[in-house]
Structure 1
Amino acid sequence: MIRLRAVALTIGAAAAALTLTMGTAQAAPGDTSTMCSSSLTPGGYVDVQWWNSGGCGSGFNPNTKKIMQLTGYPVGTVVNACASTWPPAGWTIVSSFYSAGCQYSAVPSFDKNSWQLKRVS
């Protein structure tokens, strides 16, 4: 019985990982997805919003984030993103500002927590 559970858990985890990989690989520029903050933001994506959700655990820290695909945007495109992850290659920080939707800390402040990014290459 224990082996059966272990096999089922392994197959389930592999299927979940495959689904996540397939979902992010086929995303178009500007597509968004929601994920728990315990997972790293995939390459080519930026965080665009943070909040607290019971689906990702409990506590005072914002634990859920919306991520947006930047790969595929043309040079010159400008987007806003949370400063919780670095911009992908080819993107540069144009300015920084405060956004209530980008509070990714348990200790909120009015410090600049967002960036305006521009595709440069």
Structure 2
Amino acid sequence: MSRLRAAALAVGCAAAALTLTATTAHAAPGDIQTVCGSQLTPSGWVDVQWWNDFSCGSTFSPNTKKIEQVDGLPIGTTLNVCASALPPAGWVQLSEFYSSSCRYSVSPSFNNNSWQIKRVS
């Protein structure tokens, strides 16, 4: 049974990776995708939420994230994002703060884990 479960998980992760690759290429500014936390955040995207989901593995640490496409958003736009990925080119950090939605570490704390960013170019 565990081999079947492992095979199903591998197929599911591969399908998720292919879906992310296919959908991020055609994403519009502001589009949101859910991906496994083991996948790198693509260029032009930011992490906006983390949580644990068994579809991305059977750990108790945050392993799933919501990412948002920010390329193409107007200059002057501000967003609150997780500090788990650097702001994209053309965006600057305005402030940092703690958000329970951005607990991306296996060792949760109340340290700052989020940024407010602004598009400047």
Question: Given the two structures, how large is their TM-score scaled by the length of structure 2?
Answer: 0.84
Identity %: 65
Mapped to 1, the partners of 2:74 and 2:97 lie a distance apart of 24
2-structure distance, mates of 1:14, 1:107: 28
CA contact (8 A) 2:79 2:118 kept: yes
- The answer on 1:114 being equivalent to 2:114 is yes
Aligned match of 2:79:
79
Structure 2 SS opposite 1:101: helix
Q: How big is the shift at 1:29?
A: 1.1
Per-residue CA distance 1:40-87 (angstroms, 9 max, x = gap)? 011100000000000000122100000000000111000010000001
Q: Mark the structure with the bigger radius of gyration.
A: 1
CA distance in 2, matches of 1:79, 1:106: 25
In structure 2, relative to structure 1, the CA distance for the partners of 1:51 and 1:14 (3 Å cut) is closer
Offset of residue 14 of structure 1: 8.8
Alpha-carbon distance in structure 2 between the residues aligned to 1:120 and 1:114: 19
Residue 44 (str. 1) matches residue 6 (str. 2): no
Q: Which amino acid is 2:110 matched to?
A: F
Instruction: After TM superposition, give the deviation of residue 28 of structure 1 in Å.
Output: 1.0
Q: Which runs of 4+ in 1 moved over 3 A?
A: 13-19
Please state whether the residue corresponding to 1:21 is helix, strand or coil.
Answer: helix
Q: Distance in 1 between matches of 2:21 and 2:56?
A: 20
Q: How does 1:25-44 map to 2 (within 5 A)?
A: 25-44=25-44
Q: Would you say how many aligned residue pairs link Structure 1 and Structure 2?
A: 109
1:75-108 C-alpha deviation (Å, 9 max, x unpaired): 1000010000001000000000100000001111
Q: Which residue does 2:89 correspond to in 1?
A: 89
Which stretch of structure 1 is more off in the superposition, 13-22 or 93-102? 13-22
Partners of 1:118 and 1:49 lie apart in 2 by 18
Query: Residues 108 and 94 (structure 1 numbering): CA distance in 2 closer, same or farther, change over 3 Å?
Result: same
* TM-score normalised to structure 1 length: 0.84
